[in-house]
Chain A
């Protein structure tokens, strides 16, 4: 049979078969692997939230969540899958609220002096971002407690800056405390947003805030 066939057709048949099989199998395998990776990334994003990373006040945890959990989703799936899109945009909005100090207050019970001590430890370890994020939380804890004591109606999502303004307006905070706290909140906000804050300035912010809060 083959002997009666012209060699050019034989060669063509073999080349065609090889090309077809290679391209076909390669495409199917690549598409299957890509689909599997995309499904895993979407599942991981839908089963997790940035809450843990935000509560940890840890830049690495937050960045890892953004890049390793959200970042692995293919743009094609982000565009075509409404659930994946909702998860990504929802998580980004939640992180943005945290940066803007407009997220809900700490979910776990926190002590003012413990947080200030943690901020000092973080600064001693060279982690300016965490130090100032913790300082901001510490200030928020104190101001929220003062607002509660003074029966001030403040929203759940009010951050340290907003609480400070509300307390100053209602004269529930002495002026000599509001200035240093305002300064510390501003420095902390800059750092939390990602701006580079020198260690000396972070140290100064922690020192002034500690004095204003009455924490040793």
Chain B
């Protein structure tokens, strides 16, 4: 999944549409939702592994090796850690959105020039 780049915001400026801010907001909403879906999946997977591990540990007559406990517990930890990193990224989305809005405003005066460049580039290809 490619991170949002300055070029994506410049594309919005080049589009010269009056609803560029709304489009930018949509872009961030999609990105946020996508990240949160991944976070939920990772936490759910980590939780499921832990639940299964505890169920196996406390089941009567069950024999489970230490390496298996470590493997399942470790994997659950890795999944949760990746989820936590993504969650932290999602929490910074607001700050990135504000910065992207400022960038969009700074790039607006160049909108027609960028549109002309993109049209010429498309024509050349």
Contact = CB atoms under 8 A, between A and B. Distances in A.
B125 interface: no
13 contacts: A12-B52, A17-B72, A27-B82, A67-B10, A71-B6, A72-B6, A75-B3, A75-B4, A75-B96, A79-B95, A80-B92, A80-B95, A96-B109
Interface string B30-61: 00000000000010010001001100100000
A12 B121 CA distance: 53
Nearest to B68: A13
A63 B3 contact: no
A200 interface: no
Contacts of A78: 6, 96, 99-100, 103
Main secondary structure of the interface of B (DSSP, over half): helix
Given A23-B82, A72-B5, A16 B113 contact: no
Contact of A5 (B3, B64, B92): B64
Interface string A66-77: 110011111110
A4 interface: yes
Contact of B112 (A71, A85, A194): A194
Contacts of A70: 6-7, 10
A9 B120 contact: no
Interface of B: 3-10, 42, 45, 49, 52-53, 56, 62-65, 67-68, 71-72, 74-79, 81-82, 85, 89, 92, 95-96, 98-100, 103, 106-107, 109-118, 120-121
A66 B5 CA distance: 12
B116 A19 contact: no
